Structure 1
């Protein structure tokens, strides 16, 4: 999960000089990125990040969402998150439940299901809303017979593990992480962001959820936001209309988080995370440091960096014995959608495979810098620190020297030239790092492991900007998926 959202600078026509102000803005943007990396490096080396995150891990509810799962889809590029909103209200008082018209006892079902895909290069977030009433076949197990029912029953009958297994079976997408909110967790998250704006051309009123919004733009607190995302009886579109509003709301959440400076301040970010943890559960493999690193990865997101769609449907009123009306998918369209997710391709038309509508400066490299682990050493400690910070600003996963074992074959001083030592199994990572350190000598060291070692030389060159350039997408990848939109088209004017 930055800078305030910026407009992409327009190309300068031939024969015209870019205004000095434009050059200053470009330098300012890069300076801010480096300043953010410096702040993170200082916090890391001083131990303040650990202090800021103290107690965060213990506050997250944990669930083993993947234990015992077999026949899973293969892992693909990027990371896939199953986001589940449940109707549990254990953390709300009776008065709050009545105020927000939550009804009687919860069914312990999934109220909202979304599959979020973060691209391999961390430039694009694709969110797919999955109808909770999707017709599914739940397998037999744990004393329950196989049955045809609706998706929201998977969580009710088998908890997170059955929910994950069912979504993976439906989509063919490997789920890497699981995150679950209840009603209280959702409200706390919205309040921690200072509220979220929503806009409507006509008044919105839903007696069942309690929603009553005037036309125009309104900043919603947690309670009113819950009414908004739960409303189903506004326009006759039921759950499909609700999913559309949820997507608009989530686009505003992403914009709010990335445009307010929240993701640039690890201490502030940790405090915000802490306020929401009591009602959130995550898989055991997602630790607090991962959440912070995820936020760091998307700190430069703009509204156009996210894209949203819903699973295409063929029938909104398929009757299931004992389960009521269910939704069936348009299978060919759905297969195309999830094939794009598995291939790490954009969902919106005309978008580049790197997920951005704007030109990205820097030398193209074959491996995402976030996946390249690096240790920097040298006799000049100030130079080591500056190089490490600048590599961090370029996205490389810089580690302290104490994090790796000493290997005699590895250069500890580069002499006049900087030396990059690498294990031949990580040759593509070495090429990516060498592009950022022009003029370096690259040295193979068998069995060194996955952490690349940089020994700075006295005649080193400045760190050069790089950008991840994955293999070209399949033919036709730029056509997009029907109904997919970018986040900037969902924001309030």
Structure 2
């Protein structure tokens, strides 16, 4: 097969970004996970003992009953609040972060550490998720409050960390082992302690509301600029999902930064960084220095390639509820498949595949280019709300380097057939993308460059060719079939015999596919 013609002036494929947002609030999880990584990846006894007592404490598990069964894996609930107490007005102004605190969890993330300690799965939970909030005691009045439905981020204001933990445990069936909480300036100090973190984008990102002004390419951001990056909501049409994708990408960069730099090998620098990070974090009362030391041995081999990122699958992005306004509904079969995989301690993504392995099963013949080298922007030409965001996520799950900035195509609502627009110099790469979108019409656009454009038509249903393009699949592979009986839950839509073909798919990305290269 002839070698693909490439323009040497074209940049390497940009890594995927990631899913949505609605209101002006801050995203803290990158700082929270960096705290976990720095507190566990190679910290010696002296470092841990020197900073363990400085961590702020909260009662996260008081009064909890009827909790899910514990297991050998570790589940951290990481929350970020937009608490601005003690932050000088000038600092707030410089960070474009005026306004009142919402007294809620602005960001919620589950971090699942495998029993062997060599894998981490990070799952973002949309803050507007409409879920059951368990019965609880009102902390202000001491009165009992019955169970009810509401936004998941409101649980914090209604009952503090314990109700937040109880709500997440009830919704996911996962036993939460530890709770970590980060506030406004914690994020900034964490990034600055690392010496900044690089981020990359295939297009310029401008958001006057957050103050973000980022050129295309790779830029190293300090704490204040990084805060603008994860807060921005007007850089793409995906809102909170877009912010969660950027947040996940930023987390992967922090893992890469912590594990590839000399920070973890320099005891003096390590202690300085760890002290700064951990002083900014609040943790449950049971997370001791001894626990941190135990985590050291379990996470010493953690790398971006062994971290997976996912967002709870959604079925309705604008479910309006009187008294709550716009909420989001989970796609229950796919969401329960995701959580079942975590309960069974199974990886959410397949291990890195070689180029030969990813290009062997396409109907059009052997594929020479792996999905990770194919850069894609998704446009919605069908006019179906949320369609481009879902397709972007499915392609990213299949390993493609999507831009994450799903948009409406000009004249959206008129496209009947899905079209792949590509530069003819990338005639081999387009075969890999076409295998993931069977039936799509190929259109050559000279000068388009290395980023292909998928314009979704009304015929699009799903990335049906993902397996052929080297993506992790459900069922036979065993890596993502979270709906199987081994996970302890019934497969949604499966027959009484439990056929594997009906298992819901899990959309997740490996950390090494979302970092800047």
| 1:484 paired to 2:508 | yes
| 1:283 paired to 2:307 | no
Give me the whole-angstrom Cα distance separating, in 2, the residues matched to 1:101 and 1:295. Answer: 37
| 1:321 paired to 2:322 | yes
The alpha carbon displacement at 1:145 in A equals 5.0
Give me the whole-angstrom Cα distance separating, in 2, the residues matched to 1:165 and 1:78. Answer: 19
Q: Which string of whole-angstrom CA distances, capped at 9 and with x for unpartnered residues, describes residues 203-250 of structure 1?
A: 111222221111111111111111111112221101111111111100
Give me the whole-angstrom Cα distance separating, in 2, the residues matched to 1:208 and 1:145. Answer: 39
Partner of 1:134: 129
| 1:242 paired to 2:243 | yes
Partner of 2:157: 156
Runs of 4+ in 1 over 6 A off after TM superposition: none
Q: Output the TM-score relative to the length of structure 2.
A: 0.60
2:156 is paired with a residue of what secondary structure? helix
Partner of 2:120: 125
The alpha carbon displacement at 1:54 in A equals 5.1
Query: Structure 1, unaligned stretches of length 5 or more?
Result: 1-39, 353-472
| 1:337 paired to 2:346 | no
Partner of 2:97: 102
Query: Structure 2, unaligned stretches of length 5 or more?
Result: 1-41, 138-142, 354-473, 482-504
The alpha carbon displacement at 1:277 in A equals 3.0
Contact preservation (8 Å) 2:58, 2:283: yes
* Higher relative contact order structure (alpha carbons within 8 Å, sequence separation ≥ 6): 2
Q: How many residues are aligned here?
A: 328
| 1:116 paired to 2:111 | yes
Which of the numbers 67, 78, 81 marks the counterpart of 2:73?
78
1:477 is paired with a residue of what secondary structure? coil
Partner of 2:54: 59
Partner of 1:294: 295
Partner of 1:36: none
Give me the whole-angstrom Cα distance separating, in 2, the residues matched to 1:479 and 1:172. Answer: 18
The alpha carbon displacement at 1:146 in A equals 3.9
Partner of 2:174: 173
The alpha carbon displacement at 1:78 in A equals 1.2
Give me the whole-angstrom Cα distance separating, in 2, the residues matched to 1:196 and 1:149. Answer: 36
The alpha carbon displacement at 1:266 in A equals 4.8
2:479 is paired with a residue of what secondary structure? helix
Give me the whole-angstrom Cα distance separating, in 2, the residues matched to 1:321 and 1:148. Answer: 11
Which has the larger helix fraction? 1
1:98 is paired with a residue of what secondary structure? helix
Give me the whole-angstrom Cα distance separating, in 2, the residues matched to 1:94 and 1:344. Answer: 45
Give me the whole-angstrom Cα distance separating, in 2, the residues matched to 1:204 and 1:484. Answer: 24
Contact preservation (8 Å) 1:199, 1:492: yes
Give me the whole-angstrom Cα distance separating, in 2, the residues matched to 1:305 and 1:194. Answer: 24
Q: 1:55 to 1:90 in 2, by over 3 A?
A: farther
Larger Rg: 1
Report the aligned-residue RMSD.
2.4
Alignment of 1:220-239 (within 5 A): 220-239=221-240
Alignment of 1:439-458 (within 5 A): none
The alpha carbon displacement at 1:296 in A equals 4.5
Give me the whole-angstrom Cα distance separating, in 1, the residues matched to 2:330 and 2:283. Answer: 28
Q: Output the TM-score relative to the length of structure 1.
A: 0.63
Give me the whole-angstrom Cα distance separating, in 2, the residues matched to 1:475 and 1:169. Answer: 30
Q: 1:118 to 1:139 in 2, by over 3 A?
A: closer
Give me the whole-angstrom Cα distance separating, in 1, the residues matched to 2:290 and 2:229. Answer: 32
Give me the whole-angstrom Cα distance separating, in 1, the residues matched to 2:265 and 2:205. Answer: 35
The alpha carbon displacement at 1:351 in A equals 7.3
Alignment of 1:426-437 (within 5 A): none
The alpha carbon displacement at 1:177 in A equals 0.6
